Amino acid sequence: MNILITGSNGFLGSYLSNYLSKWHNVISLVRSRKDISIHNDNVQYIICDLRNKELLMNKLDKIDLDVVIHLAAITKNRINSSFNENIVITKNLLDCIKDKKIKQFVYTSTCGVYGDVDLNKVKEPIDEDYQCYPNYDYTISKFRCEKILKNYANQYSFNYTTLRLSVIYDMKTCPFSELLNFVKSTKIIPLINSGKNYIQPISISDVKRVFRLIVNNSESFNETFNLSGPKPIRFVNLIRLMENELGLKRYKINIPLKFALFILGLSGLVELLGFKTIFNKDKLKRVCENSYYNTSKIEDLLNIKMESPNEGIRNIIRNS
C-alpha cells in the first residue's frame, strides 16, 4: 500500500512514518529534512510546503497513492490567525489528490471540536454524534477541515476517516514528561482551579495501533471516531499518581482560573511592550477544559482496549 503522510517532521508524524513503513510503502511529506535523526531509510521523502499548491501538484503528479494520512497542521502558535493555514493546506492537499482515485483519506482532528464539556449537563461520555462547539481558532480550523474533507470525499468519490484525538503522550516528549520533570523538581505545585478538571490522554502506542488497523479498513470508511484514553482522570489525580510512583509528596496550592487569567492579562500588557511570555489566555483556558469522551466506537470496530493513563504513567516513570 502506498501511503502519503503529511507532517512527518512533527510529533505524531515521526512516529507514524517509521511505524507504518514496517508494512507499507510510506512517502513522508515534510517542509524540510531538519531533524535527520528521525528519518528512516525505508521511507521516501517529499519536500514541499503545503501552502504551495503548484509545487505540491508537481511533486505528487507521478506518485500512485492508496492512502493519505493528513497530519500537517499549525498546532501551536502565538498568533491565532495562523490557524487559518490549516484550512488552506488541507484544501490544497485535497485539490491535489482528488483525482487520484485514492482508497482512503485519514484526517487527524481533535476532541477539542466538542468544546469545553460541561460536566453539570453531560452525564455520559460524549460520543461522535455530540454537537460540536469548537471555541478556539485551532479547534475551529480543525472542525472546518473535517467538513471540507467530507464535501470533497462526496464530490470526488473517495473514502475518508476522521479521527478526533485527545492529547497524546509518550515516554520522552511533552506534555507528560514535562509535567513529570516539574513534579520531580518543584516542591510546590500550583494547580489552576485545584486541578479538578478532567483530562483523557491517549498513549502513543494506542494511537500507532489504531492507525495500523484503520489503514484501508473499509469499516472505517466515511466515519468519524473519537480517539482518546479509556477514561478521564482529574488533573490533580494525575499529579498524585506521579507523586506516588516517584515516592514524593508535593505541596499543592490552588490558583483560581480568574486570578490566573488576570495575571495573564497583565502579561498581555507586557507583550504589548514587546516582551515575550510563554503562555496566553487561550492556552490556559484550554488546559483547564474538561474531557469526557466515549471511545467505544473505535474500540468495538477494531476490537481493542485503550491503555489506562495509570498504566501509561507507570510505564513512563519506569522508563525515565
Ligand X SMILES: NC(=O)c1ccc[n+]([C@@H]2O[C@H](COP(=O)([O-])OP(=O)(O)OC[C@H]3O[C@@H](n4cnc5c(N)ncnc54)[C@H](OP(=O)(O)O)[C@@H]3O)[C@@H](O)[C@H]2O)c1
Which residues of this chain interact with ligand X, rule CB under 6 A? 7, 9-13, 31, 49-51, 71-75, 89, 108, 110, 142, 165, 167-168
Q: How far is Cα 176 from Cα 244, in angstroms, rounded to an integer?
A: 15
First to last CA, the chain: 36
Q: Which is nearer to ligand X, 31 or 184 (CB)?
A: 31
Closest residue by Cα to residue 86 from 107, 105, 68, 67: 107
Smallest distance, ligand X to C-beta of residue 128, A: 15
Q: How far is Cα 63 from Cα 59, in angstroms, rounded to an integer?
A: 8
Smallest distance, ligand X to C-beta of residue 71, A: 4
Smallest distance, ligand X to C-beta of residue 12, A: 3
Q: Which is nearer to ligand X, 71 or 316 (CB)?
A: 71
Q: How many residues does the chain have?
A: 320
Q: How far is Cα 84 from Cα 144, in angstroms, rounded to an integer?
A: 10
The C-alpha cell at 209 is 495501533
The answer to whether 47 touches 21, Cβ cutoff 8 Å, is no
Distance from chain centroid for Cα 168 = 6
Smallest distance, ligand X to C-beta of residue 86, A: 8
Q: Which residue is nearest to ligand X (CB)?
A: 10
Q: Which is nearer to ligand X, 244 or 308 (CB)?
A: 308
The C-alpha cell at 118 is 460541561
Q: What DSSP state is assigned to residue 29? A: E
Smallest distance, ligand X to C-beta of residue 162, A: 11
Q: Which is nearer to ligand X, 26 or 50 (CB)?
A: 50
Q: Which is nearer to ligand X, 7 or 115 (CB)?
A: 7
What Å distances lie between residue 159 and 67, 101, 298, CA to CA?
A: 9, 10, 17
Q: Which is nearer to ligand X, 51 or 101 (CB)?
A: 51
Smallest distance, ligand X to C-beta of residue 89, A: 5
**Strand 198-199 and strand 233-234: pairing?**
antiparallel
Smallest distance, ligand X to C-beta of residue 192, A: 19
Q: Which is nearer to ligand X, 89 or 102 (CB)?
A: 89
Sequence letter at residue 104:
Q
Neighbouring residues of 12: CB distance < 8 A, sequence distance ≥ 6: 71, 108, 168, 204, 207
